[in-house]
A and B are shown apart, each in its own frame.
Chain A
Amino acid sequence: MKKSALELRDVTKIFQKGHEVVRAVDMVNLSVAEGEMVTFLGPSGCGKTTTLRMVAGFELPSDGSITIRGKDMTNTPVNRRQIGFVFQNYALFPHMSVYNNVAYGLKARGEKDSDIRLKVLSALNLVGLVKTENRYPSQLSGGEQQRVALARVIVMEPQLLLMDEPLSNLDAKLRLHMRTEIRKLQKKLGITCLYVTHDQAEALTMADRIVVMNKGKVEQIGTPFEIYSNPQSLFVADFIGHANVIHLPVISIGDDEISVAIPDGGSFSARALKPHIYSADDTIYHEGKNAALIVRPESVAVVKRDDDKTHFSAEVVSSIFVGSHMEYELTLPNGDTVKASVPFQSGMKIFDEGDEVSLIFDVSNSVFLPA
């Protein structure tokens, strides 16, 4: 097995807020391979940044251990961890030129001036900033500042690159561009990277693996594909992309499949997931009780009302043309709302508000979770 670049074991952070004890990070376990890019995704206050800051050494864990390249670093001060940290606001030193910003760490390390010069210039070159070394941060655009922040870190050849929402201060277009650029650079240098974001598109497009966090706990760790198609919890399903969540009564339970009753009489079967928080012999689905059907809008087909018992009858509430797709909002007889996103093709049947239709859920892209 590949030696892991980073190992988090039961990492926990407790803050005391007045008399209240807040578990900001709760028993986080994670193993990151060399050269891997892992994003931490979750709503604000979910503990992702605190986790990153503990890996950096800005905060010390209340409990648990942090191992970097096999060495226990749990209580090592940040300046001896050899990590590179890119801050949300870049934290460029305003009183130093670009050159001195990038050279700062090398100077602190006591390297020779001639070596420093070579390294700084090549790092600036690498991030696409040439001839800016004599400027001051206040004279640079947001995107350029971002690049300086990157250069300042990679010039140190850190064991780990830690990034805390580095793109959130850029405008939308530049953000898209920097996304691919950072990913390319990370692959080129083969550097292990932890990347915190609350933007799911960023997480999905940049990561080898995603850690979804909520309320201090890890909800799910997996590749973007796994996270998207096999959400382990309702939170993950809802947080990544949009998911329709429909609560329906279970009528029969198979090995890894269950069937539920459709509001107007039929039945529907699909894979039933067993989230990792349950142990092997827990029964989590019960006949007669509700299960949550998770289906993404793009896995819903809208057709004329038919009699197929595995289809869901519905009424169109709104119908919007967005160019590449038709976006429908529909209601089921039990009052639940379902969204459908149907690729637009010329000549296709377009439904209007009030139309009675049937919905076909793509079985291979539908899953059940405990309600």
Chain B
Amino acid sequence: MLERNLHKPTRKSMMKSDPALFSAMVAVWISFAIFIFLPILRLFMTTFVVEGTFSFVNMSEVMGKSYHIKALYGSLILATAVSISGTILGYLFALAVTRTSLPKVFKILLGGVTILPLISPPFTSSISLTLALGPNGMLLKAFGIGDFSIYGFLGTWISETLTYFPVAFMVITAILNTMSANLDDAALSLGASRWRMFRTITIPLSIPGIGNSILLLFGASLADFATPLILGGHSFPVLPTEAYLMITGMFDLRGGASLSFLLLVPALFVFLIQRLLMGKKSFVSVTGKNGARTEFAKLPTELSVVIGIICTIVVAFILYLYAIILWGSFVEVWSVNNSFTLRHYGYVFKHGKKAITDTLLIAFLSTVIGSVLAVVIGYIVQRKKFIGKRFFEFSSLLNYALPGTVVGIAYIIAFNERPILLTGTLSILVAAYVFRYYATGIRSVIASLEQIDPALEEASLSLGASSTRTFTHITIPLIIPAVLAGMRYLFIHCMTAISATIFLVSVRWTLLTTRILESMTELQFSQASAFSIVLILIVFIADAIMFYLLKLSTAKYHKPQEITNEKIGA
């Protein structure tokens, strides 16, 4: 009898005592079914079902072509290289900021420069690398190098490293900051040298951050579509671009689907490892009861100097790349006719106006819808107990874990025919963004709820407030900072991401990022630069406004949430 009673409260309560929650759950599951499960299922069927039966025909056809095998290797090698170089660079930057006595201005500059790639469209570094090191490249001319090609593995690798190392920087900075400075003091007081302390304390304790960063960067590079499209060239194929070219160039949906399946396997693998590692939660709790807060011990001077030099070079290079784009947007024809002109901006605001307004509308709608969903899902996952909770959480993050190309292809397959005909509509673009990029929002809501003592909600209930009133008057106001933080990232991604939506744009609805890509493929570099600059400015202004709101929302009772670990995740 007691066994039966055990389960009674949890099971019965959902529908009966909390009808609002119950209907929210039903609505969320339905949206998962349509926008997450259906596309994956259709992708699976397109790949593996031939004339009504299960078959590997498509797969073996794709695998049979040596060029595709080369693309698979290319993807894996590139992802490995980027995850390692990006993590090393990120680690050096993190050390420079947290463990050296370099000037404060320099540290702020480092932090600021790492934000740039995050708010830029994914092509930015590819475009500027092309301008600097491509045919007629500025640096090549300056150094008189004639025979050099940026296209291929090298260019893609450099560009992706510069694009993704800020993620490593944030993940590792967060973990370096949560270490207890007392450990440094203890090591030094036990007679360790600074080198020894760095080797035996700092490095071992940052391993979780390093591991997480490698996984994040591996996944990001694996899924990156824009960089190899511009810089990969024919000699260095990777899976996302091959799948894209197969669909848009050869109209071969089956082939594209099969290729994207090859991509899906390593991506899911990385996602699962990451979930497993993060699931263990080796969180160092920061309760403020750590006694006196001392400063971290500095790195050995030699090491600080080396790190300082490397960071300076990288920062200078990044700033140089952005300067090139800015400059490039103001010249007639890059490297050929360098006279000043506003022609390209004129073009952007005349012929690109629709792309600007479309992008803004889509980003706005996705941000609002995505945030509401993120609050509901985050709340359910963190505060409620129900059967299938892990599956629920996993499902919610599935589109985020899959490479954008896979999601894009799955969406065109799934929504290209009745009953759910969405191709060419605004909804398909919004849905693609919402179910991919609300993940950061969900995580930040969950993280914020973890910080909020359930006693606050219990206090509200015990004072006679209903559960709905408790949610609107206590929970929501307390997680507003997290929601706004999630919104910032959602908006940035909606403005800049391209891998999934490149398949979904149409004559009716187009995006700034696709216009940049078009300009690049038409070799209109200056136009592409002008589009990029406009996009970066819009994102920057919108982000500043949201950051201001974030500050405002929390000014009264606590500090605004910093950009922390995991919020970004490319």
Contact = CB atoms under 8 A, between A and B. Distances in A.
Contacts of A14: 2, 5-6
Interface stretch (A87-95, A176-184, A259-267, A357-365): A87-95
B469 interface: yes
Most B CB within 10 A of own CB, among A82, A87, A89, A108: A108
B425 interface: no
Interface residues of B, number: 28
Given A136-B557, A138-B558, A85 B462 contact: yes
Interface in A47-104: 56-58, 60, 62-63, 77-85, 87-89, 91-95, 104
Given A14-B6, A62-B6, A63-B5, A138 B557 contact: yes
Contacts of B17: 77
Interface in B116-140: none
A83 to B, nearest CB: 6
A94 B2 contact: no
Nearest to A138: B557
Contacts of A81: 462
4 closest A-B pairs by CB: A105-B463, A91-B455, A108-B465, A91-B459
B459 A136 contact: no
Interface string B447-475: 00000010110111111111101000110
Given A60-B9, A104-B465, 5 more contacts: A79-B467, A88-B455, A108-B460, A138-B557, A152-B459
16 contacts: A14-B2, A62-B6, A63-B2, A77-B17, A78-B461, A79-B465, A82-B464, A84-B463, A95-B478, A95-B556, A95-B557, A104-B465, A105-B465, A108-B463, A108-B464, A136-B557
Contacts of A108: 460, 463-466, 469
Contact of A156 (B460, B463, B473, B474): B463
A60 B467 CA distance: 16
A79 B461 contact: yes
B2 A62 contact: yes
Interface of A: 12, 14, 16, 56-58, 60, 62-63, 77-85, 87-89, 91-95, 104-105, 108-109, 136-138, 152-153, 156
Nearest to A85: B462
B474 A93 contact: yes
Contacts of A84: 462-463
B477 interface: yes
Given A89-B453, A108-B464, A152-B463, A78 B458 contact: yes
Contacts of A80: 464
Nearest to B463: A105
A92 B463 CA distance: 12
Given A108-B469, A136-B556, A138-B557, A87 B455 contact: yes
Contacts of A12: 2
A93 to B, nearest CB: 6
A95 B477 contact: yes
A318 B73 CA distance: 79
A86 B467 CA distance: 19
Given A79-B466, A94-B557, A95-B556, A104 B6 contact: no
Nearest to B18: A77
B418 to A, nearest CB: 46
What is the interface of chain B mostly: helix, strand, loop, or mixed? helix
A62 B9 CA distance: 9
B472 to A, nearest CB: 11
A94 B556 CA distance: 9
A109 B5 CA distance: 32
Given A14-B6, A91-B455, A108-B469, A83 B462 contact: yes
Contacts of B465: 79, 104-105, 108
A62 B5 contact: yes
Contact of B453 (A56, A58, A91): A91
A85 B457 CA distance: 12
Interface of B: 1-2, 5-6, 8-9, 17, 453, 455-456, 458-467, 469, 473-474, 477-478, 556-558
A93 B456 contact: yes
Contacts of A105: 463-465
Nearest to A80: B464
For B1, B455, B458, B462, which residue has the most chain A Cβ atoms within 10 angstroms? B462
Nearest to A109: B464
A57 B461 CA distance: 10
B2 A85 contact: no
Contacts of B2: 12, 14, 62-63
A358 B461 CA distance: 61
A81 B8 CA distance: 20
A80 B458 CA distance: 13
A307 to B, nearest CB: 59
A104 B462 contact: no
B556 A85 contact: no
A79 B462 contact: yes
A310 to B, nearest CB: 52
A367 to B, nearest CB: 37
Contacts of B462: 56-58, 78-79, 81, 83-85
A320 B456 CA distance: 48
A108 B461 CA distance: 10
Contact of B458 (A63, A85, A92, A153): A85
Nearest to A12: B2
Contacts of B5: 14, 62-63
Nearest to A137: B557
Contacts of A156: 463-464
A128 B501 CA distance: 62
A94 B558 contact: yes
A16 B458 contact: no
Given A62-B6, A136-B557, A138-B557, A91 B456 contact: yes
A94 B478 contact: yes
Contacts of B461: 58, 77-79
B252 to A, nearest CB: 51
Contacts of A87: 455, 458-459
Contacts of A136: 556-557
A152 B460 CA distance: 10
Contact of B459 (A57, A60, A85): A85
A84 B459 CA distance: 9
B463 A16 contact: no
Nearest to A58: B458
A44 to B, nearest CB: 17
Contacts of A137: 557
A63 B9 CA distance: 12
Contacts of A16: 6
A360 B388 CA distance: 67
A156 B465 CA distance: 12
A85 B465 CA distance: 13
Nearest to A23: B2
